[in-house]
Structure 1
Amino acid sequence: MLTPLAADAQNLLFKEAHTAHAFTDEPVTDEQVTAIHELIKNAPTSLNSQPLRAVLVRSDEARARLVERMAPGNQPKVRQAPLVVVLAADLDFHETLSKVAPHVPNARDLFADETMRHDTAVVNASLQIAYFIVGVRAAGLAVGPMAGFDAKAVTEEFFPDGQHRALVVANVGRPGPEAFRPRAPRLTYDEVFRSV
Structure 2
Amino acid sequence: MATAFDTPLDQAALDQLFVEARTFNHYTDRPVSEADLRAIWDLTKMGPTSANQLPARFVWCTSPEAKERLALCASDSNADKIRAAPVSLVIGMDTEFHEYLPQLFPHADAKSWFDGNRELREASAFRNSSLQGGYFILAARALGFGTGPMSGFDAGAVDKAFFADQPSVRTNFIATLGHGDTAKLHDRSPRPAFETFNRIV
State TM-score, norm by structure 2. Answer: 0.91
**Residue 34 of structure 1: CA displacement?**
1.0
Name the counterpart of 2:80. Answer: 76
Flag the 1:136–1:156 CA change in 2: closer, same or farther, 3 A: same
Counterpart code for 1:15: V
Name the counterpart of 1:121. Answer: 125
1:47 maps onto 2:51 in alignment: yes
Q: Distance in 2 between matches of 1:6 and 1:63?
A: 37
Q: Is the 8 A contact 1:47 1:101 kept in 2?
A: yes
**Residue 173 of structure 1: CA displacement?**
0.6
Alignment of 1:1-196 (within 5 A): 4-160=8-164, 161-176=166-181, 178-196=183-201
Q: Distance in 1 between matches of 2:134 and 2:163?
A: 21
Q: Distance in 2 between matches of 1:124 and 1:13?
A: 21
Flag the 1:144–1:46 CA change in 2: closer, same or farther, 3 A: same
Q: Distance in 2 between matches of 1:165 and 1:98?
A: 22
Aligned Cα root-mean-square deviation (Å):
1.6
Most deviating of 52-61 and 76-85: 52-61
Counterpart code for 1:55: V
Counterpart code for 1:167: N
Q: How many corresponding residue pairs?
A: 195
Aligned identity (percent) is: 37
**Residue 57 of structure 1: CA displacement?**
0.8
Counterpart code for 2:69: R
Which SS does the other structure have where 1:84 is aligned?
strand
Q: Distance in 2 between matches of 1:56 and 1:40?
A: 14
**Residue 73 of structure 1: CA displacement?**
1.4
- Deviant stretches of 4+, over 3 Å: 108-111
Which SS does the other structure have where 1:127 is aligned?
helix
State TM-score, norm by structure 1. Answer: 0.93
**Residue 95 of structure 1: CA displacement?**
0.6
Q: Distance in 2 between matches of 1:141 and 1:116?
A: 34
Which SS does the other structure have where 2:13 is aligned?
helix
Q: Distance in 2 between matches of 1:106 and 1:35?
A: 29
Which SS does the other structure have where 1:170 is aligned?
strand
Which SS does the other structure have where 1:152 is aligned?
helix
**Residue 72 of structure 1: CA displacement?**
1.2
Q: Distance in 2 between matches of 1:4 and 1:120?
A: 30
**Residue 156 of structure 1: CA displacement?**
1.5
**Residue 61 of structure 1: CA displacement?**
1.8
Q: Distance in 1 between matches of 2:149 and 2:172?
A: 10
Q: Distance in 2 between matches of 1:65 and 1:34?
A: 22
Q: Distance in 2 between matches of 1:14 and 1:191?
A: 19
**Residue 192 of structure 1: CA displacement?**
2.2
**Residue 178 of structure 1: CA displacement?**
3.4
